[in-house]
A and B are shown apart, each in its own frame.
Chain A
Amino acid sequence: MLKKYSLILLVFLLILSFSSIVAVADSPFVGFSQVTIQSPFYVTLMESAERTAKEMGVKFVYLDAGNNIGKQNNDVIDLITRGLDVLLLNPVDPEGVAPAMKRAEDNNVPVVTVDRPVEGKYKEAVFVGRKNYEMGVEAGKKAVELLGGEGNASGKIIEIQGAAGGAVMRDRRDGFHSIVDKEEGIEIIQGPYCEYVRSQAISAFQDLIQTHPDVDMVYAHNDDMALGAVQVLEQHGKINDVYVIGIDGLMEAVKAINDGRMDATVLNDPAYLGQLAVEVALGVLEGEEYPEFVDAGTGLIIKDNAGEFYDPAKDFAEYIPED
C-alpha cells in the first residue's frame, strides 16, 4: 500500500511542477546553456539575457551545466531536440563541447558563444565576450603606475590566481605579466589557485602574508578573491600599506575602492554582456553579419571614478560602451 501512495505522491509532484510552466507562443526560440549559475557573475549575465529576450518578445530557456561538461552537452542536445532556433553557449570547456557543437551544426542551429569561446573547426557564428588578456593588461598598467611608474616601479606583488588550467585565469595572468614583468624592480610571488572563491583566497593569503610581510601589492584574478585579501590585510592592520587590484567590477569592490580599502578593478559587466549576446543571437537569426569576435569592451575603476559606478542596487558596475 505504502508503495502505491509514494508513487502517487511522486506523480503528483511532477504534475505540480509541470503545471507551473506557461506555454510560450511561436516566436524565435533562444536557448542558453550556461556554464554555472552558482556565481553572481553568471547569474547576472543569465538574468540580463533573459530580460533582454523577454523585452524582444522571444522564447528564452536557460539551462545550467553545473560546471559539468557532460551535462552541458546533454543539455544542448535536449535543447536542439526541442527545436531550438539559436543557441547561446557559455562552454564549460572550449574543446569538450565538441558533441554539442557537432549536433548544432548537423541541425543547422547557429551558435553564439558568450563569455568564453569554443575551439575547433565549427562554423561557430560569433563569440561575444571580452578580452581577458586586455583586462590583465589594464590591471598591470595600473599596478606599475601605483608602484612608481614605468621604469621606476618597484615592489613585491602577490598574485592570487583563479582556477587551475582555465583560459580566463591564463589570460588575466599573462596580460598582467606582459606589463609588469618589464619592470626590473617588481617581484611577483605567484600564490596558489583559489578558484575565484573568497574563502579560499582568505586562507591562502593568511599563509602568504606570514611568509611575505613586506608585500606591497595584491593582484587577484577576480574581485571576490581581492576582497578576501582586503579582509586579511585589515585583520593585520596593513590595509593602508598594501595596494589591492582585482578584476570584474563587483559592486562590493567598487564600494571598497570608493572607501579607500581597495585600489582598482577592471570592468567586466555581465549585464551588458548578456544583453549584447541576445541581441547578436537574434541578429544572426535575421542574417546580419558579425565579426567572429564581438568585443563587449572593458575599462578601469579607480578611486577617482568609483563614485560614478557605485549603485548598490546592482551586483556589478555597469559598463556601457561609448558609441
Chain B
Amino acid sequence: MENTKFKHLIKEHSIYFLLIVFIIIGMFTSEHFLTVNNFINLLQRSSVIGLISLGMTFVIIGGGIDLSVGSIVAFSGIVVATLMTNGMNLVVSLIFTIFLTLVLGLIVGIITVKFNLPSFIVSLAMMVSARGLALLISNGSPVFGLAGPFAFIGGGYIGKIPFSVILWFIMSIISAIALKYTAFGRKLYALGGNEEAAFYSGIKTSYYKAISFGISGLLSGIAGIVLASWLTVAQPSAGEGMELDAIASVVLGGTSLSGGSGTIGGTIIGVLILSIITNIFNLFGISSYYQYIFKGLIIAGALILNSMVVVREKQ
C-alpha cells in the first residue's frame, strides 16, 4: 500500500516537474514570459479548455471518452446567445443552456450504457448531431450582440483576475472534492479500473458512467458560455478540435486512457502545459508550421514519459 502511494507521488510529481521545466524554458526564451500580465493571459486562455478538461477527466477515469465536447461548446454558445438576443433574462438563459448541455451529455452516457456501446462511437454521434443543432439554431451564422453583463463571464475581471479563471478554479475544487471525497468519486475510479469487478461488488456501474458523461456535457456547456462571452459572439463553428486538446491535457496530466486513475490537479497542469507551449512559441516567434510539429513532439514525449511511469506502477 505504502509502495503504490509512493509511486503515485512520483507520477504526480513528474507532471509538476515538467511544468517547472517549461516555465524555466519560458524564462530563458523571452523576457515577457514571467510577467504578471502574461501569467494572467495564460490562465485566461486556459480556462475554456480547462473547464472542458475537468469534465473529460471524469469520463476518462470512468473508462470512457467524450468526443462531443467541442460541439457542445458550440451548441451551448449558440443556445445562450440566441435566447439572450431574443430577450430572455440572463440568469434564466444561463440555467436553461447549462441544463440542455447536461441533458446532451446524459444522452451520450445513457445510450452508451444502455446499449453497451463504446463511448467513442456514441460521443462521435453526438459530436456530429450537436454541431448540426448549433448550425440549425443559428442558421449557420454567428450570433452577435452579446455585450452587457453577459460579457463579464468570459471577459470580466475581479481585481486583476479574469472571472473565467475564478470560475475554472471553483469548478476544479468542486470536481476534485467530488472525485476524492465522495462515494460517487470512489465508485467512478472503481468502475474505470475494472467495470466487471465493480459491477459484481454491487456498484451501479451504468448509473455512474452515465453521470460522468452528464458532468462532461455540463462543464462543456459552461465552457461554451465562457467562450461566447469572451469573444462576444457565438459561432456554430466554435470549439472545433477542442476534444483533442482536452483529451491530450487529461492524459498529459497523468490520467490513464484505460480508466481508473487520474487527478484533477494533474489535468489542470496538463492544460497549463499545453497553453504554455503555444505561449512560449508565440513569444519566441517560432513560425506556425514548426509550432504544430513541436507541439506534437512535446505531447508525444510527455505521454511516453507518463506511460512509462504507469507501466512501472503496474509491474
Contact = CB atoms under 8 A, between A and B. Distances in A.
Interface of A: 2-3, 6-7, 9-11, 13-14, 17-18, 21, 37, 61-64, 66-71, 73-75, 77-79, 81-83, 93, 95-99, 119, 164-165, 193
Contacts, number: 127
A109 B106 CA distance: 46
Contacts of B14: 3
B231 A17 contact: no
Contact of A165 (B227, B236, B301): B236
Contacts of A193: 140
B301 A10 contact: yes
Nearest to B227: A70
B38 interface: yes
Given A61-B285, A82-B283, A93 B140 contact: no
A105 to B, nearest CB: 14
A164 B230 contact: no
A48 B45 CA distance: 31
B107 interface: no
15 contacts: A11-B21, A14-B298, A17-B286, A18-B29, A21-B286, A61-B287, A64-B289, A70-B231, A71-B278, A74-B278, A75-B282, A78-B41, A78-B282, A96-B235, A165-B237
Given A3-B305, A74-B45, A93-B233, A37 B25 contact: no
A99 B230 contact: yes
Interface of B: 14, 17-18, 21, 25, 29-30, 32, 35, 37-38, 41, 45, 48, 135, 138-142, 144, 155, 227, 230-233, 235-238, 240-241, 278-279, 282-291, 294, 297-298, 301-302, 304-305, 308-309
Given A6-B304, A93-B142, A81 B227 contact: no
A10 B283 contact: no
A77 B25 contact: no
Nearest to B151: A98
A281 B74 CA distance: 34
B283 A13 contact: no
Contacts of A97: 231
B285 A9 contact: no
B251 to A, nearest CB: 15
A7 B138 CA distance: 46
Main secondary structure of the interface of A (DSSP, over half): helix
What are the 4 closest A-B residue pairs judged by CB atoms, nearest first?
A64-B288, A78-B282, A95-B233, A164-B140
Contact of A74 (B21, B41, B290): B41
A99 B231 contact: yes
B243 to A, nearest CB: 13
A10 B295 CA distance: 11
Contacts of A82: 30, 32, 282-283, 285
A145 B236 CA distance: 38
Contacts of A64: 288-289, 291
Given A13-B297, A165-B141, A98 B286 contact: no
Nearest to B294: A17
Contacts of A6: 301, 304-305, 308
A69 B238 contact: yes
A98 B232 CA distance: 7
Contacts of A70: 45, 48, 227, 230-231, 238
Contacts of B231: 69-70, 73, 93, 95-99
Given A93-B231, A95-B142, A164-B135, A77 B18 contact: no
A63 B288 contact: yes
Nearest to A72: B231
Contacts of B238: 69-70
Contacts of B45: 70, 73-74, 77
A34 B284 CA distance: 17
Nearest to B144: A95
A102 to B, nearest CB: 9
A165 B17 CA distance: 45
Given A74-B45, A95-B142, A81 B230 contact: no
Contact of A63 (B18, B21, B155, B282): B282
A237 B122 CA distance: 43
A74 B43 CA distance: 11
Given A82-B30, A99-B230, A165-B142, A37 B284 contact: no
Contacts of A96: 142, 231-233, 235
Contacts of B240: 67-68
A97 B237 CA distance: 15
A7 B18 contact: yes
Contacts of A7: 17-18, 21, 305
A18 B304 contact: no
